Chains A and B, each alone.
Chain A
Amino acid sequence: MLEVKGLSKHFGGITAVSNCSFTVERGSITGLIGPNGAGKTTAFNCISRTMTPSSGEVWLDGARIDTLRPHQITAQGLSRTFQISRNLADMTVLENVICQSKIRGWRDLFRPAMSKEEIDKACGILDFLGITRIAHEDGSNLSYGQKKLMDLAALLMSDPKIILLDEPAGGVSPTLLEEIIGHIRKLNEKGLTVLIVEHNMDLIMRLSHRIVVMAQGQVIAEGEPAEIQEDPAVLEAYLGGAVEEAA
């Protein structure tokens, strides 16, 4: 469904992502892991066009999307969250969520900010995530975990086909972690394709159908969780420094 072909990104002389290729199957949960600085978030940013890739192609459902602008990619059905939750301060959670509504166009000038249908839909999503009670809170007054849930809610508002989650469990409590895992699983069962970047191995191993491992900007392994845990290249990447020091 999502195909990344030879994606590269250079920052001056530094190569953050080099010739990275992988695919995400329809209806699967794919985990993208790697040590710090492996280029996972940069790859994410290049896929969602928050950054312009230096070279390479990204295809979504047979259509090339790396030439589009970010809002067009969202309209194509690829939505993302950010590693550090980006929420819109001074706007209520409901407004934050409805901002991501799919209804767009030049007629926006004459449409009400939040139509009845949109409010109903947003409330349904908030209900699903169990955060209805904070619907009228200011987006900046939320706890870290609530912000993550709000991001997820906003994501669902745009009716995506595939969602890219950048560390959905970063800095949240273990209880909420279970909750988020449950939500992702339920969404996946409804047919949503998911690509996750995460440092929490527990979450990745339990959720993912397939795992892509990146190190130093390159994909070094791809496979099922059990295979990845045994893969020598992956162990090398994660423990490499320690092994060399011991030797």
Chain B
Amino acid sequence: MTSLDTNEVITARKAYYAGLAGEADKGRSVWFPIAVLALLLALPALQFTGNYNYLIHLVLFTASYVVMASGWNILGGFAGYISLGHNVFFAIGGYFAGMIFARYGISTIILAPLAGLVAAVFGYVIGLITLRVRGPSFIISSLALVMIFKILFDNWDFVGGSNGLSLPANDLPVQWAKLPYYYAFVVMAAFTVWASYRIRHSKFGLGLRAISKDEIKSESAGINTRFYKVLAFAISAFFVGMAGAVWGEYLTYIRPNIFLIILVSVNMVLMCILGGKGTVAGPVIGAILLVVFNEFFVATLGASEINIFATGMIMMLCLMFFPLGIVGTLARLKKLPRILNWD
């Protein structure tokens, strides 16, 4: 009799948890990101009706930042290690693929995954060294990394020193010239978002979240925190490196001043913070908003200091009302529109 009762309790409980899990699944929207992706893949058809190169460029630019911000989010958002040095991997990816492209003519779009792997190896080794400290010390160590690599690339004649290296442009007609890079970035962005969704829902992701909350507790809970952190660093470097690879060929130029300026890594951080770090949709929303703000203010106020000031003011207002980022705060208040719930 008792065993029967226990069984009933267990069945009831299982049904209850299945219900809860179902609710989480129902709250999530899968169709929306897929619809956006389909729309973006179809967008270049506009070129048949006129010249939409500016729009294509903007989407491409946003997609490149989606890749980078989502990549950064794996270390900065999930594991809670704020790095201001991720443009180093942008540069490593860009130079690796750019040099091979310049010498052997292999397209960087094909080389991108390989460039990402090279960046990941660098990330793994750098992570082994810098992830021993956390908090402000880690941020400073990541800034030092940028300086080291800036000096290195500025003085390395083989890769063109501070003058950089120009890469051959492709010979497509002007309205199609951007499309290979456009598709490369859109596909990479989709892959990155998918990967960060998978990571967030893996055991690894759960461990990273634990690390971001309390590292000592996580370690004593049996999580190999050092390995987890270094692996997170390598994975996030992979995505940033991949973006860097194609970016060089798109600009037809690789130069330290393109990759190793602090603006690139600050943008990644700001996008994640604006959208909500530690969420899947956050970096995407942040990247879209920041690019849109920038373009809007450049268009209305001109490329002066005022546009930077205006973007800064908007950022500040956003963070006053959305302290956890837009997606993060709305999710906390349970007011997140379903189309933005990708977690």
| Chain B 216-231 per-residue mask, 1 if CB under 8 angstroms from chain A, else 0 | 1111111111111001
Please, how many angstroms separate the alpha-carbon atoms of A112 and B199 in the complex? 9
| Given known A86-B214, A88-B209, contact A132–B202 (CB-CB < 8 A) | no
Given known A71-B223, A80-B220, A119-B17, contact A109–B209 (CB-CB < 8 A):
no
B338 at the interface (CB under 8 A from A): no
B201 contact from A99, A112, A158, Cβ within 8 A: A112
Beyond A91-B209, A108-B202, A113-B201, whether A50 also contacts B220 by CB under 8 A is yes
Chain B residues with Cβ below 8 Å from A136 are 20
Residues on B with C-beta less than 8 A from A98 are 206
The interface residues of chain B lying within 8 Å CB-to-CB of A50 are 216, 219-220
The residue that B224 contacts in the complex, of A71, A90, A102, A111, with Cβ under 8 A, is: A71
> Number of B interface residues, CB 8 Å?
30
- Checking B207, B214, B220, B225 against A108 with a beta-carbon cut-off of 8 angstroms, the contacting residue is B207
A99/B223 contact (C-beta < 8 A), A108-B203, A109-B199, A136-B20 known: yes
Q: Are A99's CB and B207's CB within 8 A?
A: yes
Is there an interface contact between A154 and B219, defined as CB atoms closer than 8 Å?
no
A95, B216: Cα distance in complex, Å: 17
Taking the complex as formed, is B297 at the interface, i.e. its CB lies under 8 A from any CB of chain A? no
| Contact residues in B for A106 (Cβ distance below 8 Å) | 227
Give every chain A residue within 8 A of B231 (Cβ-Cβ).
Answer: 109
The answer to whether the Cβ of B193 comes within 8 Å of any Cβ in the partner chain is: no
Q: How far is the CA of A74 from the CA of B206 in the complex (A)?
A: 18
> Restricting to A89-110, which residues have a CB under 8 Å from any CB of B?
89-91, 95, 98-104, 106, 108-110
Expressed in whole angstroms, the Cα–Cα distance for A123 and B16 within the complex equals 12
Q: Cβ of A82 < 8 Å from any Cβ of B?
A: yes
Contact of A48 among B204, B220, B224, B228 (CB under 8 A): B220
Give the residues in chain A near B205, CB-CB below 8 Å: 113
Asked if B221 and A113 sit within 8 Å, CB to CB, the answer is no
Q: B interface vs A, CB < 8 Å? A: 13-14, 17, 20, 199, 201-207, 209-210, 213-214, 216-228, 231
Could you show 13 A-B contacts with beta carbons less than 8 Å apart? A69-B219, A71-B224, A74-B222, A86-B217, A87-B217, A88-B217, A95-B209, A100-B221, A109-B202, A109-B231, A120-B14, A123-B17, A158-B222
